[in-house]
Copies of this chain bind each other. A is one copy, B any other.
């Protein structure tokens, strides 16, 4: 079995070695122009030429959970595109979001500011019952985040394209379910895939429907958020703040107004990093399953966009 790897910008060696160790029957090579078509390809941000040349692979594995960038390319028709289900990302995401929510609901940043002035002042916490949290997107990551927040005692609402059932989570779905969902949220957490239907979904209209003084956590894609709308809603007080891990342009340009905004907390797209060992094990497992003629989780519906 032949496997080609193509991940410009990432060091290929650990992936080549890891895949070879996990699939002893396979020969794993880094892609270069002119290689014969492999059985499987493992890619992140591959050049179009690679996709064209390797159009005959049995499956194309994305080295991440979000495949929006890959779907911008011309993909070989009929090719099975498989994304990572989790690979250690869901737990990181749950931790990131719980940290952001706790900072908001418990006022930890204010306590840290007090400490710099040697001020001892207890504040009444926001009651959990008065801090319902809405999760947009109930895929592998969204479900894990919803569960973690529910376990911390918050009322949790979920919104997804199709109806989802998740214990202890109030579910909303589709365009008709969106206004009711938004009106329930004191904190909105975005974990949607980026598709033509979800681009710009966080805008003046949708964010304006949240409870007054709401808080936004965007950990999906920068293009979900209309940045100038966020700034306007912070100015008007409709939003009290936001934690943002993703941006329309990454790295965020040094002169971007987000950097200096006192009510924004920014991180450089680190909410959930692909963990190499877990990703390799998952891809190897799926290749074995495909070779046995079985189906695998994470197959991308190209028309749907995720």
The distance from the CB of A148 to the nearest CB of chain B, in whole angstroms, is 7
State whether A120 and B152 are in contact (beta carbons under 8 Å apart), knowing that A98-B102, A102-B99, A125-B273 are contacts in the complex. Answer: no
Residue interface bits A111-129, CB-to-B below 8 A is 1, else 0: 1101100101111010010
Partner of A95, one of B152, B259, B268: B152
CB pair B106–A102 under 8 Å, yes or no, is: no
- Name 24 interchain pairs, CB-CB below 8 A, sorted by A: A91-B153, A92-B125, A95-B98, A95-B153, A96-B106, A98-B98, A98-B99, A98-B152, A99-B102, A108-B267, A111-B266, A111-B268, A112-B265, A114-B268, A115-B266, A115-B267, A118-B252, A118-B255, A118-B256, A118-B259, A120-B250, A122-B269, A123-B270, A148-B152
The distance from the CB of A13 to the nearest CB of chain B, in whole angstroms, is 17
Partner of A152, one of B94, B106, B250, B273: B94
Residues of B within 8 A of A98 (CB): 95, 98-99, 102, 152
A288 at the binding interface (Cβ < 8 Å): no
Partner of A122, one of B108, B122, B123, B268: B268
Copies of the polypeptide in the assembly: 2
Residues of B within 8 A of A254 (CB): 118
Residues of B within 8 A of A128 (CB): 91
CB pair B251–A120 under 8 Å, yes or no, is: yes
Give Cα A88 to B127, complex, Å: 10
Residue interface bits A191-221, CB-to-B below 8 A is 1, else 0: 0000000000000000000000000000000
Interface residues of A (CB under 8 A from B): 88, 91-92, 94-96, 98-99, 102-103, 106, 108, 111-112, 114-115, 118, 120-123, 125, 128, 148, 151-153, 250-252, 254-256, 259-260, 265-270, 273
CB pair B111–A106 under 8 Å, yes or no, is: no
Give Cα A260 to B116, complex, Å: 6
CB pair A268–B121 under 8 Å, yes or no, is: yes
CB pair A106–B99 under 8 Å, yes or no, is: yes
Partner of A108, one of B99, B118, B120: B99
The distance from the CB of A153 to the nearest CB of chain B, in whole angstroms, is 4
The distance from the CB of A237 to the nearest CB of chain B, in whole angstroms, is 22
